[in-house]
Amino acid sequence: MSGILGGEGEHRLLMGNEAIARGALEAGVGLAIGYPGTPSSEVIQTLSRVADQISMRVEWAVNEKVAVDIATGYAYAGLRALATMKNAGLNVASDTLMSVAYSDVKGGLVIYVADDPGAHAGMEEQDNRWFTRLSLLPMIDVSDPQEGKDAVVMAFELSEEYEVPMLVRSTTRVAHMTSIVELGPVRELRRTPGFERDIRRYTRASPKWCMEQHERLNEKLKLLSGRVDGLPVNRLHIPEDGAERGVVASGISWSYLRELLDRHGLWDRVAALKIGTVNPLPRGLIERLMEGVGELLILEELEPYLELHLRAVASELDLRPIIHGKMDGWLPRVGEYTPELVERALGRLLGLELERSNREVEEARAEALKQAPRRPLPLCPGCPHRGTYTAMRMALRELGYKDGEFIVTGDIGCTILGMHPPFNLCWTEVSMGASIGLGIGLRYAGIDKPIIAAIGDSTLFHAGLPPALNSAWHRSRIVIAVLDNRVTAMTGHQPSPTSGYTATGGEAKVIEADEVLRALGVEHIWVADPYNLEEAKEAFKEALRCDGPSAVVLKRVCALVARRMGLTEQPYRVDPERCTGCQLCLRTLACPAMTLSPEGKAEIDGEACTGCGLCAQICPVGAIGRSEP
């Protein structure tokens, strides 16, 4: 049962991203396209699951720029397109987006981007609200699932009315929060696509046209400015008797603030402005708030975006409210806000002691937390990357390289888990595909050690092909290790060009990394099975001996996908009679399906084991074998 398919007026429990997906249905979107990235992936995933019941094309693109290019073409034809991505995805798409801002889109074009305060997904905490200043594009920043759904519908209306692409932004907390959403009507647009030649609008080929387009964009924004005060995502509350103090909040901070004002009964003590349009800002509401209050607290995660703008408005109006936020150190610029952080700031603004604290309890809590050992994310049982990294280590050792005598540049995805013990292999993680360029740069700098770039298949196709081409072109001596697990695993096992199926499960062409690399000019390529340590090790040894660019493509489907498809094999078991308790298997592989018995012998959890057989290849006394079916 998918929650997003209910009828108008029904209430459904939806995650923020599911609500965005529902919004796409209600807006009559004809194309939803994106590239996976936490915390944005569930929009396309949710739509793809119901694709056979809706009239929408739902697709994963090879990267965010391609997604936005395609969405733009679709919107140029007069239909509605939604493109989705994570925070860093906007960097990749920005080249197109900056330019499309100057075009008049006929059909609605909405870009949904999910930022990540708190770096839960382990990348930058970039604050994409600034992107609106760079591109001038309008943006709605949403606070909860209901608002997310409604904002998507509204964004499409505005996008078509003003012929401008719209950005809808959320954050991890909003995207991954689940709450009850009231559904609106689903729309199906039956428009005839059309696209007429009009190079004054659709090309930037002349400075004059460019500047005309730029001017027009500014005019659109000015018109939109006059509208945003009245949009439901912006709300001003002023107590009946007025208030000396006010709070401005956006995104998830608004939810925390509402809850606190309810719990402590403070609605009649403070003015509160919720800002949902970060560009254009609800100027009228801001002015009304500022005229009434003497002191303001601004609640926004990451950068002091609203704070700077509100200070500017205050100085323009010649008002001098005291403004608290990040710039005076009340609140941090790093990490996500928590209810406690907001409570403390609110208490400070109002001169109230809102929290109850108890030293003894706090100390006991800290003590308890200290006793919890870290639980680093392991590679799953049967993960093919385990075989790859084990074979890579074996090859380096057999060629006589000790730790520190080689460099492995890492990339993004499950592949980066090779940085943890016992592998300790990946040294860097920068941006999609960067492992290859970094390797080339290190080589150019004169480093003479073996350099291996470890990259997943999805990442290779996303942004790794241009640097691979560069390495072939200039004959750079690096080894590209493609950890080809046939999916985009880290972000939730979305299909990649190697998978052979589309987002909606339809058949797709299988693109093989080795064939593509060969076509790009990488001449020395080995294909190996990471479950076969000997074969993979030999491939690495050969590749490491090459003088120019080389590649080893390690093909084996992700173990979690294999499990889901029922492709796992009979589990292995340890013969306790033969096991000497040397722990070599555990120390080499760190497979979570293995543990130690109270007697210190290796043991395998038959339910967790996928039957990859790596441990049997490691055991020096042959104590591990396949169990009887």
Partner 1 sequence: MIREHNILIASVGGQGGITLSRIIARAAMKMGYRVIVGETLGMAQRGGPVQSHVRIGSQVYGPLIPEGRCHILIALEPVEALRAARYLSPESTILLNETVLPPITAILGEVPYPTLREVVEALNRIGCGVYHLNAEKLALEAGSKRCLNVVMLGAYMAYMEAERLNIITMEAAEEAVRESVPSRYLEANLRALKLGYEALMKSMSSSAY
Ligand X SMILES: Cc1ncc(C[n+]2csc(CCOP(=O)(O)OP(=O)(O)O)c2C)c(N)n1
The residues binding ligand X (CB under 6 A) are: 35-37, 86, 88-89, 92, 123, 412-415, 432, 456-459, 483, 485, 487-491, 496
Q: What is the rounded distance in angstroms from the CA atom of residue 594 to the CA atom of residue 574?
A: 10
Q: Contact 51/63 with Cβ under 8 angstroms?
A: no
Q: Is the omega angle on the peptide bond into residue 185 within 30 degrees of 0, that is, cis?
A: no
In the complex, what is the shortest distance from the CB of residue 215 to ligand X, in angstroms, rounded to a whole number?
32
Q: Which option in partner 1, ligand X, ligand SF4, none does residue 613 bind, with CB closer than 5 to 8 A by kind?
A: ligand SF4
Q: What is the C-alpha end-to-end distance of the chain, expressed in Å? A: 35
Among 133, 214, 258, 333, interactor with partner 1 by CB under 8 A: 258
Structure tokens at 96: 């197109």
Q: Tell me how far apart the alpha carbons of residues 62 and 40 are, in angstroms, rounded to a whole number.
A: 15
- Asked whether position 424 contacts partner 1 by CB under 8 A, the answer is no
Find which of ligand X, ligand SF4, partner 1, none residue 432 binds, CB within 5 to 8 Å per kind: ligand X
CB of 458 to ligand X, least distance (A): 3
> For residue 127, how many C-alpha atoms fall within 13 Å in the half-sphere facing its CB?
16
Does an H or E element contain 340, and which?
helix 339-350
Instruction: Classify residue 507 by its DSSP letter.
Output: B
Of 270 and 562, CB closest to ligand X:
562
> Shortest gap between Cβ of 131 and ligand X (angstroms)?
14
Q: How far apart are CA 427 and CA 442, in angstroms?
A: 12
Find tokens 């967790």 and name the residue.
608
Which one of ligand SF4, partner 1, ligand X, none interacts with residue 340, CB within 5 to 8 A by kind? partner 1
Spatial separation of the C-alpha atoms in residues 83 and 486, rounded to whole Å: 24
559 binds, among ligand SF4, partner 1, ligand X, none (CB under 5 to 8 A by kind): ligand SF4
Q: Which of 190, 208, 359, 374 binds partner 1 (CB under 8 A)?
A: 374
- Name the closest residue to ligand X (Cβ): 456
Binding segment for partner 1 (CB under 8 A), chosen from 27-35, 50-58, 213-221, 377-385, is 377-385
Helical H segments across 399-455, by residue range = 434-444
Helices (H), 293-338: 305-316
From candidates 90, 252, 272, 306, binder to partner 1 by CB under 8 A:
252
Q: Does 560 bind partner 1 (CB under 8 A)?
A: yes
Which residues, at least 6 apart from 329, have a Cβ–Cβ distance to it below 8 Å? none
The pair of structure tokens assigned to 316 is: 């323009």
| CB nearer ligand SF4, residue 165 or residue 418 | 418
Residues 440-499 close enough to bind ligand SF4 by CB under 6 A: 485, 489
Contact criterion met (CB below 8 Å) for 267 and 247: no
C-beta of 37 vs 437, nearer to ligand X: 37
- Name which of ligand SF4, partner 1, ligand X, none residue 255 binds, using a CB cut-off of 5 to 8 Å depending on partner kind: partner 1
Output 25 or 383, the one with its CB closest to ligand SF4. 383
Q: Does 595 bind partner 1 (CB under 8 A)?
A: yes
Tokens linked to 17: 């991203």
519, containing H or E segment? helix 513-520
Token pair 């959403």 in the structure block, residue: 181
**Residue 614: contacted member of ligand SF4, ligand X, partner 1, none (CB under 5 to 8 Å, by partner type):** ligand SF4
Query: Residue 367 touches which of ligand SF4, partner 1, ligand X, none (CB < 5 to 8 A by kind)?
Result: partner 1
3-state secondary structure of 318: coil
Q: Which does 377 bind (CB under 5 to 8 A by kind): partner 1, ligand SF4, ligand X, none?
A: partner 1
Length of the chain, please?
629
Query: Residues 442, 451: contact at Cβ < 8 Å?
Result: yes
| Run of H or E residues at 62 | none
Q: Which residues of 359-395 are buried (b: 16+ CB within 10 A; e: fewer)?
A: eeeeeeeeeeeeeeeeeeeebbbbbbbbbbbbbbbbb
User: Which position among 196, 197, 371, 445 is part of the footprint of partner 1 (CB under 8 A)?
Assistant: 371
CB closer to partner 1, 120 vs 216: 120
Per CB under 8 A, residues contacting partner 1 are 1, 11, 13, 38-39, 42, 120-122, 144, 172-174, 176-180, 252, 255-256, 258-259, 262-263, 338-340, 343, 356, 358, 361, 364-369, 371-378, 380, 421, 560, 583, 586-587, 590, 592, 595-596, 607
**Residue numbers at the binding site for ligand SF4 (CB under 6 A):** 379-383, 385, 414, 485, 489, 558-560, 571-572, 589, 591, 593-594, 604, 609-615
